[in-house]
Amino acid sequence: MLLAEDLLLLVTDDVGGRLSAQVAPVNVGLGGANLVELAMRNKVALSGSEDRGEPGRIVVLDGSPAGDAVLDAALQVVIAHQGEKPSVVIRPLSKNLRETLYQRLADQGVVRAEHGRILGLFPARRWPAQNASHEAEVRRLMAQVLTQQAAPDTWTAALISLVHALGCESKIVDPGSMACPSVSSGRGLQRSPRATGHLRPPGRRSRR
């Protein structure tokens, strides 16, 4: 399961099959999730102050295939925007991504596609949960961090940062029960102190 797929499941209503957050920010978040996962796989990084050129620009560390069709396509987009700010690459990374991810999840039996119409006129598709076991485990791990101050692994920490960026923490746990403000404070992608300036989410270890 990709980081972007986990994020999409978290912001999709299991019963209604529609987004429980605004479309535009979700699309941006999904593109950002692919960028984060490429960084977690040591494919891309941010330039540091000791690198040539301006700091905080995208650097491709490894252009070889990532072994996943969606990530491979994302990597090609990033390669085409090497040297740009991350904000520049998010829109092209997000293009048509949500529908692609929904279809992948449907192919895996995680959600199912349902066709309908809005106001009886406009065709629409919903993606209610078919097998919510994976999502339930992801929510459990996130809740442990947000409510019990458990130390997150890198994957969970990245998801929390992305969910926070969308303002959707309340869709995971009751805001009043959050006991770990340092995790939910919005610390997202960081620049490494190393010269290569790896783009990375906070956390202890990789899930991969």
Residue 208 lies in a domain: no
Residue partners of 64: CB distance under 8 A and separation at least 6: none
Q: Which residue would you say has higher pLDDT here, 175 or 135? A: 135
Lowest mean pLDDT among 7-16, 132-141, 171-180: 171-180
pLDDT score at 120: 60
Which residue is associated with the tokens 């390669």? 79
The residue ranges of DSSP E strands in the chain, in sequence order, are 44-46, 58-60, 114-118, 122-126, 190-191, 199-200
Residue 207 lies in a domain: no
Residue 7 lies in a domain: yes
Residue partners of 16: CB distance under 8 A and separation at least 6: 126, 128
Which residues form the domain of 113? 3-200
Residue 166 lies in a domain: yes
Give the number of other CB atoms < 10 A from CB of residue 55. 12
- The CATH code of the domain that includes 92 is 1.10.3630.10
Angle (CA) 86 72 94, round 5°: 45
Residue 138 lies in a domain: yes
- Our count of domains for the chain comes to 1
Residue 206 lies in a domain: no
As given in the structure block, the two tokens for residue 206 are 């990789």
pTM of the entire structure? 0.82
Residue 205 lies in a domain: no
Residue 57 lies in a domain: yes
Q: Does residue 199 surpass a pLDDT of 70?
A: no
Residue partners of 49: CB distance under 8 A and separation at least 6: 55, 197
